[in-house]
A and B are shown apart, each in its own frame.
Chain A
Amino acid sequence: MFPNAPILGPLYWIIMGVIYSVNLAGFYYRTKDSKIQMTWWKWLFSVLWFIGINVVIAGGFTLFGENEMRAGLYFTGLFGIIFIILGVGLWRLLNTR
């Protein structure tokens, strides 16, 4: 990512790791406060959903970076909508007891 300053690459991902951890901790407390009973499969689906939406964003922007604007828009649009729908479904699933 940073060819002229290779130290910045690992640093970037360390910071990203911290951000992901904070996000996960925040989600943990939110589920506790919302009285959502988390099971192992609810955690699995939630983490997969979060990885998925990140991959969609990263994928779309990778295509933008390749100058494939149309492909990037279609990719983000199509899979973004799919993941938003999945996210709504997942939230409802998380709230079931």
Chain B
Amino acid sequence: MNEGKKGFDRRKFIKTAGISGGVLALAGSAGAGLASGKHKESYTGWGRTAYGKDQFFNRKPFIVNNPTYEKVGESRRITYIEDLFKRNGELSRLLFAREGEVPLWTFEDGVEKLPEPLRAYYLEHPEALGEFRKSMQKSREQEENWKKYKHKYLLADAWSSAHASAIQGQGAFPPQPRGVPEESDFRGVNKEILQLKSPPHGSSLIKQITHSFGASLVGIARVKEDWVYQGYLRGVGKDEYEVPGHWKYAVVIAVPHEWDSMYANPTYGTSYDAYSKLRFIAGKLEVFLKEIGYAARSHVPPTSYEIAMPPLAIDAGLGEQGRHGVLITPELGANTRLAAVTTNMPLEPDKPIDIGIKKFCSKCKICAEECPGGAISFTDKPENVIRGYKRWNIDADKCFTIWNSVAASHARGCRVCLAVCPYSRKNNWIHKIVREVDPRDPTGIFSSAMLAMQKKFFSYPGGQEYLPPPDGDNLTFGEAPDWLLTEEWFNI
């Protein structure tokens, strides 16, 4: 080995090359790591979507028979007035008169003068009415503030408006249902139904089709009465009604927000990018189902729902509900937005999963610490019983006040809780290790270690800092992408 020719020592050469190789290997690891961290391909939901490759997490080991929500008492359906947007909409119609008319109600009239069911609701939740009044005040301040920020956030606002344009007004897709569900959901249904081979065939087909329309995640659930709103039905109006018999199954669809803008919440992100995607996916699926002979109705954001989405998505095995009330999925974390299509097509429902999110959320609390409105519960365990189910309570009214406080042109959301959630991470190797190991560790030591690193290593501005001065400094959780920075492209 050592007998080199004319001064060339092969052994010495390999030893030296070995050291150089070690240095090069470390440099190679650094380069691979950097590329992996930077790469947009590891943003789930914006690449391999159409082929179902976004739904990469193997749920089988985590399937459970009982969903991870906890039923502790007699349950009931959600009344439409419990929905923040429906409630605020009703109240706004009374408060803000059309031109030439007088307001039908003012705060000075008091709760007793409100029409039912608003009166009953606000008598039971007087703090909610106070919060709404505060949000109106904040909305006026927001409008005033926008004069200062409209140039800085021009691109973000324009980007949001562009996404919103697809879902507003007469041309919105999918069109709103007209008439009772027994007519509306069957309108345009192909009368010639071919014999489906089996419900599993139906599920598999519908999942592939839904992925091809752009859905990152698809799951199927049986429609449970507890999740269906009571008191209002699109196409019919306000009334008490039974859950339509043909709403047998729900195809639940999830997509993420564009990741870079989502991390740059509250000021650079928008809800409308995911909302418009969901509306197109659900609307197309509705048409597809009707074309192959089945009744269908899409339930889409922001407010065109008859069913509460997070518990339905839990039943469909997509994920679990987090402390912040948002569905957390293994692939998308809390960057998960939902829609569904109800149908009578025979399908095989998926089973719920338990990947230990409730346990993690009980330790984490980052979303509660970072929420600018203090709308997220700090209790260790879920303590609120809501319509018969125990969970962490989200104060939707306080959340809405923040929508009206951040530096935006109007109340178009905050989404800081989505951005700061440790589950909302890329699909690269380092997060993949955490994603796969954490739910398999029964001791919880791994998740505690990861959480400790999360809290010590990463920067969190702190709740108030997301607000405009004087309360905060308009900070964002992550850096805004350059394509949303007005100053990169325009002289301001």
Contact = CB atoms under 8 A, between A and B. Distances in A.
B19 interface: yes
B35 A1 contact: yes
Interface in A63-86: 63-68, 70-71, 74-75
B21 interface: yes
Contacts of B453: 71, 74-75
B191 interface: no
Interface string B414-454: 00000000000010111000000000000000000000010
Nearest to B18: A26
Interface residues of B, number: 38
A43 to B, nearest CB: 15
B488 to A, nearest CB: 16
B428 A62 contact: yes
Interface string B20-39: 11101110111111111111
A48 interface: no
A25 B25 CA distance: 14
A57 B24 CA distance: 12
A96 interface: no
Given A61-B37, A65-B35, A19 B21 contact: yes
B478 interface: yes
Contacts of B31: 61
Contact of B21 (A3, A20, A57): A20
Interface in B440-483: 453, 456-459, 478-479
A39 interface: no
A34 to B, nearest CB: 10
A74 B33 contact: no
A1 B32 contact: yes
Interface in A16-34: 16, 19-27, 29-30, 33
Nearest to A54: B29
Given A19-B28, A74-B457, A65 B33 contact: yes
Interface centre among B1, B32, B39 (most CB of A within 10 A): B32
A2 to B, nearest CB: 8
Given A61-B33, A65-B35, A65-B39, A23 B458 contact: no
**Interface SS of A by simple majority:** helix
A71 B428 CA distance: 16
A26 B35 contact: no
Contacts of A3: 39, 41
**Interface SS of B by simple majority:** helix
A47 interface: no
A23 B33 contact: no
Contact of B19 (A16, A20, A26): A26
B18 A23 contact: yes
B457 A71 contact: yes
Given A3-B41, A68-B458, A16 B25 contact: yes
B451 to A, nearest CB: 13
A23 B21 contact: yes
B36 A1 contact: yes
Interface stretch (B8-16, B180-188, B362-370, B397-405): B8-16
B458 A71 contact: yes
Contacts of B428: 62
A15 B31 CA distance: 13
A27 B38 CA distance: 33
Given A59-B430, A71-B457, A22 B14 contact: yes
Given A3-B41, A29-B14, A71-B458, A60 B33 contact: yes
Contacts of A29: 1, 11, 14-15, 18
B339 to A, nearest CB: 29
Given A26-B18, A29-B18, A57 B29 contact: yes
Contact of B430 (A12, A15, A62): A62
Given A26-B17, A30-B15, A61-B30, A66 B24 contact: no
A58 B25 contact: no
B15 A66 contact: no
Contacts of B26: 53-54, 57
B300 to A, nearest CB: 32
Contacts of B38: 65-66
Contacts of A23: 18-19, 21-22, 24-25
Interface string B135-168: 0000000000000000000000000000000000
Given A26-B17, A26-B18, A62-B430, A67 B29 contact: no
Contact of A57 (B18, B19, B20, B30): B30
A16 B37 CA distance: 19
A65 B26 CA distance: 16
| 4 nearest A-B residue pairs (beta carbon) | A26-B18, A65-B37, A23-B21, A61-B33
Interface of B: 1, 11, 14-22, 24-26, 28-39, 41, 426, 428-430, 453, 456-459, 478-479
11 contacts: A15-B28, A16-B32, A19-B28, A24-B18, A50-B25, A62-B36, A62-B429, A64-B33, A66-B38, A66-B426, A68-B458
Given A12-B32, A68-B37, 6 more contacts: A19-B21, A23-B22, A29-B1, A54-B25, A66-B38, A75-B457
